[in-house]
């Protein structure tokens, strides 16, 4: 068990998107301390899962997920949680290590202090992995743009592709299109909202009416606004009304 934990911490991959036994997750969420930070939660659930059972890691692990709004900041926060030497951080780290040791079904030492020491050692292994980005990569392999409400999204593939991954097929991209539609129609993530803010401002400017407007200039601007973001319902409604007027 100790070797498995150290191997997992040395090649850390977030377990949040792994296929996991329900009972393990239920036990974790029933037992975890209240008010723990996102960094300790991610570390803790991974540590607990590897302490509780064997895991099979895919040759190239992957997940389709929301992009973190600030990966560099999240990494810095995790490094700080694992390494800060101030008394409060050290006490928090030692307390969480004691909790994780108590969650292990297998003895990690001859007494509680030794078990806590092993957990702290595994934190050091994780810290080295996080600092070196030894087990994760953030690489853009495909971009998808939905430019027309009457056509499928247009996808551009990057120079590096990983065809051994099991999603280079039509079934996956059909499912991805469904997800893209929901993301576009109901934007919710912080990173997405920030990215859309500029587009919304431009669209508002194009929706504004001018004293010298003609039906043609209004229609032209509405088409330009739609081209910026086809999922803006205000633009779609204005364009539909304008086209009805012209007809």
Sign (positive or negative) of CA dihedral 158, 164, 169, 173: negative
Q: Which pLDDT belongs to residue 124?
A: 95
CA distances from 247 to 5, 86, 215, 242, 243 (A): 69, 71, 11, 9, 6
Each residue's pLDDT expressed in tens, for the chain with a length of 247 residues: 899 999 989 988 877 778 889 999 999 999 999 888 888 998 999 999 999 988 887 777 776 666 654 455 577 888 888 998 899 999 999 999 999 999 887 777 778 889 999 999 999 999 999 888 755 666 778 888 888 888 889 999 988 888 877 778 888 889 889 988 998 899 887 878 888 999 999 999 999 999 999 999 999 999 999 999 999 999 999 999 999 998 8
For residue 51, give the nearest of 117, 123, 116, 3 by alpha carbon: 3
Q: Which pLDDT belongs to residue 117?
A: 93
Where residue 231 falls (left for φ over 0; alpha for ψ -120 to 50; beta otherwise) is: alpha
Other CB atoms within a 10 A radius of the CB of residue 213 amount to: 12
Q: Can you tell me the distance from the alpha carbon of 214 to that of 43, in angstroms, rounded to the nearest whole number?
A: 60
C-alpha 189 chain-centroid distance: 10
Instruction: Burial-class residue 216 by CB neighbours within 10 Å (0-12, 13-18, 19+).
Output: exposed
Q: Which pLDDT belongs to residue 210?
A: 94
Q: Which pLDDT belongs to residue 64?
A: 66
Q: Which pLDDT belongs to residue 39?
A: 85
Q: Which pLDDT belongs to residue 190?
A: 80
Please give the DSSP secondary-structure letter assigned to residue 59.
S
What phi and psi, each to the nearest 5 degrees, are found at residue 118? -65, -40
Please give the DSSP secondary-structure letter assigned to residue 14.
-
Sign (positive or negative) of CA dihedral 6, 24, 70, 182: positive
Please name the residues in contact with 114: beta carbons below 8 A apart, sequence gap of 6 or more.
108
List the domain boundaries for the chain: 2-132, 150-246
C-alpha 26 chain-centroid distance: 22
Q: Which pLDDT belongs to residue 192?
A: 83
Q: Which pLDDT belongs to residue 135?
A: 58
Please name the residues in contact with 29: beta carbons below 8 A apart, sequence gap of 6 or more.
none
Instruction: Burial-class residue 97 by CB neighbours within 10 Å (0-12, 13-18, 19+).
Output: buried
């Amino acid at each position: 068990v100790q070797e498995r934990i150290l191997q997992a911490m040395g090649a850390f991959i977030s377990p949040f998107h792994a296929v996991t036994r329900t009972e393990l997750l239920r036990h974790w969420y029933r037992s975890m301390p209240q008010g723990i930070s996102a960094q300790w939660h991610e570390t803790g659930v991974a540590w607990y899962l590897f302490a509780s059972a064997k895991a099979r890691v895919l040759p190239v692990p992957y997940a389709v997920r929301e992009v973190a709004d600030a990966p560099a900041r999240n990494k810095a926060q995790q490094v700080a949680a694992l390494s800060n030497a101030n008394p409060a951080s050290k006490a928090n780290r030692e307390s969480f290590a004691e909790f994780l040791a108590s969650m292990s079904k297998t003895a990690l030492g001859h007494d509680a202090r030794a078990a806590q020491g092993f957990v702290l050692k595994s934190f050091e292994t994780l810290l080295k992995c996080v600092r070196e980005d030894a087990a994760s990569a953030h690489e853009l392999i495909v971009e998808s743009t939905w430019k027309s409400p009457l056509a499928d999204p247009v996808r551009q593939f990057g120079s590096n592709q990983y065809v051994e991954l099991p999603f280079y097929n039509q079934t996956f991209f059909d499912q991805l299109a469904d997800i893209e539609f929901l993301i576009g129609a109901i934007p919710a993530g912080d990173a997405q909202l920030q990215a859309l803010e500029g587009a919304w401002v431009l669209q508002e400017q194009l929706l504004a009416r001018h004293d010298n407007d003609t039906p043609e200039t209004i229609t032209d601007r509405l088409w330009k606004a739609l081209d910026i973001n086809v999922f803006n319902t205000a633009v779609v409604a204005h364009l539909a009304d304008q086209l009805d007027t012209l007809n």
